[in-house]
Amino acid sequence: MSHSSVERIIFPDSFLAAHYMTVTLTTVIDGLVVHPEAIEENLARAGETLDTQSFLLALVDLGVPRSVAHEAIRRAAETLRGSSGRLLEALKEDPEVASAAGELTVDRGEAMKRLRAMSRALIDSRLASLDQRRT
């Protein structure tokens, strides 16, 4: 028994779908506009919520189970959403991680430096590809 009737439909349709997705992605990328100032503003507005991974790893290193640390950070981040509070202070008030959070040290400057470097590399890469297309 052959599936040739199915194959005659599925293969062309698959290529049409792949072509459509490629054309759509190309259109999106060609129209992409990068605003470095807006990126910096958004990073500053996000504050310590960008450091949650660093806090999580530091708490685990201090002996807090990962699931407990994850839930404590989630609760603290939700509590601080829309406020100017500090994540570390909120963690120190959480009874499940308060003892470990007292010893918690995260170099926020270093974390932001890494994040900015990654953002800068992505922006530079996009700008370089745009420059190549224009020449």
Question: How confident is the model over 13-47, as pLDDT tens digits?
Answer: 999 999 999 999 999 988 888 898 998 888 777 76
Average pLDDT over the chain reads 83
Q: What pLDDT was estimated at residue 25?
A: 92
Could you tell me if 23 and 75 lie in one domain? no
Could you tell me if 104 and 122 lie in one domain? yes
Domain that includes residue 101, residue range: 32-134
Altogether, the residues listed in the chain come to a count of: 135
Could you tell me if 46 and 18 lie in one domain? no
CA distance 75 to 23: 42
Could you tell me if 58 and 2 lie in one domain? no
Could you tell me if 36 and 82 lie in one domain? yes
**How many domains, the chain?**
2
CATH of the domain at 113: 1.10.40
Could you tell me if 50 and 67 lie in one domain? yes
The arithmetic mean of pLDDT across residues 48-63, rounded, is: 82
DSSP per-residue codes, 22-80: HHHHHHHHHT----HHHHHHHHHHHGGGGGHHHHHHHHHHTT--HHHHHHHHHHHHHHH
In the structure, what pLDDT confidence band is assigned to residue 108 with cuts at 50, 70 and 90?
Answer: low
Structure tokens at 76: 């603290």
Could you tell me if 95 and 121 lie in one domain? yes
Could you tell me if 65 and 81 lie in one domain? yes
Could you tell me if 47 and 106 lie in one domain? yes
| Cα 95-98-101 angle, rounded to 5 deg | 150
Could you tell me if 110 and 56 lie in one domain? yes
| HEC profile of 75-114 | HHHHHHCCCCCCHHHHHHCCCCCHHHHCCCCCCHHHHHHH
